[in-house]
Structure 1
């Protein structure tokens, strides 16, 4: 990586794959550098300024909203079942009062979404312990465990003696809203140094997303090779996700931030600020 490279984060989960699968890396040669990590690692790297742009947990965006802007029309969202964020429980969720809950150490958005669901919607008070995402280990001392991403997808394939709850489905049941789990954020400082390159990268992300929609079968063939599983299950999974970020996703996410603030998980509610490159260009022209 050179000093002039744009450092781009990449979540090593299949739920972001449509934005990257058809990304034309050859176009950018030595101008960009991909850094692959799980969400919690990317969140921390972005906060430290070690990554310029990439998908981060929606909750992490809220924590650093003064430093970031959101790339338009990119997210990992679902209206209803998300298919890869599960609470595995030894008893019905309504009976988890006083329970010990094991939380994956790879997430921020889903961890706080679970806290909102249990406390605000079910009126439950529980205790939490953060652990590595290995379900068998998590459930040795816990009554329920939260897993996300490919860890959750792997666990759900096995015939396990647990009740399983999809957090996206629970959120929609109680609120009627879509839930956005990740946003493509960019550090404001990176915009100053890489504006034109960011425009090209953003366009390439959008192009990959749209091409995936037209050729989903090709991506799923690749997923089957690398991750196994069932073709029909993968089609159902990807068709249940949206990688757009429209007003529908924004409204749902900002309600999530409001709930988080009510429970003291955030210091205050947060409004999402999108990077408006065209407006920025106009302002630059007018002031130059």
Structure 2
């Protein structure tokens, strides 16, 4: 009997457009969802504890020889992302020699911050990794990086901080989109579950499209769970992109080159995409 397909889901609202209308009943026990923060899902896919799912795009690069990205799925932004913030006690230009606390839930954003501060601003800072609690992070640090719902809620609470959106900074310096997460599958899973994988991929794309056509149910749900006001969530979801097309690949591969230049990756990485026959994505596939 073929085992079920184990699928990772990040515990943040930024992936919900791809999962919110996912038709689970269609699969009748053939799939299992595993929900965790990005860092945990990164580890789970690398260890074979899940078969596919949304992971940090930096983690994809670390295991690119073993993974393929599912076509036309990502968490990206062209400019402001709205959920990845550097909270700083002083202006970003004045952070030379600073101590920055990093969330322990991320990989992509942690390394994006290092690229922004070192490559774009020419700053030299030291880092410490902590649980994502802003007050604790800033107790002994000059700045703190938060992502996802932790970042959104911390910004809503306000405070005497300078707040910088990393998606906005990346776009300002490069002009590129930034892809924070990809849906990735381990290569050996494709042979074992090709037909089921095709169905799952189609269901993800259908959920994304249904959300795109009508944001109201998703916004109502998230506002009911987290508060903040519906207008906040409309603005947030409209600023996110869940496609993965040529412009997203170009921006992501430039990020990988920047990471390699700083020694964060051993070498630049090219994204390889899995696409089943009949899938209507808009990306030039890597053969």
Q: Distance in 1 between matches of 2:9 and 2:211?
A: 17
Inter-partner Cα distance in structure 2 for 1:25 and 1:45: 22
Q: Residue 120 in 1 paired to residue 145 in 2?
A: no
SS in 1 for 2:212: helix
SS class of match (1:30): coil
Work out the CA distance in 2 between the residues paired with 1:10 and 1:111.
20
1:98-109 equivalent positions in 2, closer than 5 A: 98-109=97-108
Distance 1:63 1:82 in 2: 23
TM-score normalised to structure 2 length: 0.96
Matched, 1:239 2:260: no
| Displacement of 1:224 | 1.1
Equivalent in the alignment of 2:36: 37
Paired position in structure 2 for 1:71: 70
By how many angstroms is 1:29 displaced?
1.4
C-alpha displacement at 1:3, in angstroms?
A: 6.0
2: CA distance, partners of 1:229 / 1:59: 30
Counting only pairs closer than 5 Å after superposition, residues 40-55 of structure 1 correspond to structure 2 as: 40-55=39-54
SS of the residue corresponding to residue 50 of structure 1 reads coil
State the match for 1:271 in structure 2. 270
Task: Spell out, residue by residue over 1:204-239, the C-alpha distance to the aligned partner (whole angstroms, 9 max, x if none).
Answer: 000000000111011111111111111111000000
Aligned pairs for 1:58-97 (under 5 A) are 58-97=57-96
For this pair of structures, how many residues does the alignment match? 278
**Deviations 1:108-138, CA, capped at 9 Å, x for gaps:** 0000000000000000010000000000000
- Are 1:229 and 2:220 matched, yes or no? no
Separation of aligned partners in 2, 1:188 and 1:7: 14
RMSD value over aligned CA atoms? 1.0
Partner of 1:111: 110
Q: CA offsets per residue over residues 57-85 of structure 1, 9 Å max, x none?
A: 00000000000000000000000000000
Q: Which residue of 1 aligns with 2:157?
A: 158
Q: Which residue of 2 aligns with 1:205?
A: 204
1:140 is matched with 139
CA distance in 2, matches of 1:120, 1:49: 34
Question: If the length of structure 1 is used for normalisation, what is the TM-score?
Answer: 0.95
The match for 2:282 is none
Deviations 1:177-199 (A, max 9, x none): 00000000000011111000000
Moved over 6 A (4+): none
Pair 1:196 & 2:195 matched: yes
Partners in 1 of 2:143 and 2:272 — Cα distance? 35
Q: Distance in 2 between matches of 1:225 and 1:270?
A: 40
**1:95: Cα distance to partner?**
0.4
Structure number having the greater helix percentage: 1
How much has 1:278 moved relative to structure 2?
2.9
Q: Could you tell me which runs of 5 or more consecutive residues in structure 1 were left unpaired when the two chains were aligned.
A: 280-288
Q: Give the match's secondary structure for 1:165.
A: strand
Question: Residue 44 of structure 2: SS of its match in structure 1?
Answer: helix
In 2, the alpha carbon distance for the partners of 1:152 and 1:240 equals 16
Distance between the aligned counterparts of 2:267 and 2:260, measured in 1? 5
3-state SS of the aligned residue for 1:265?
A: coil
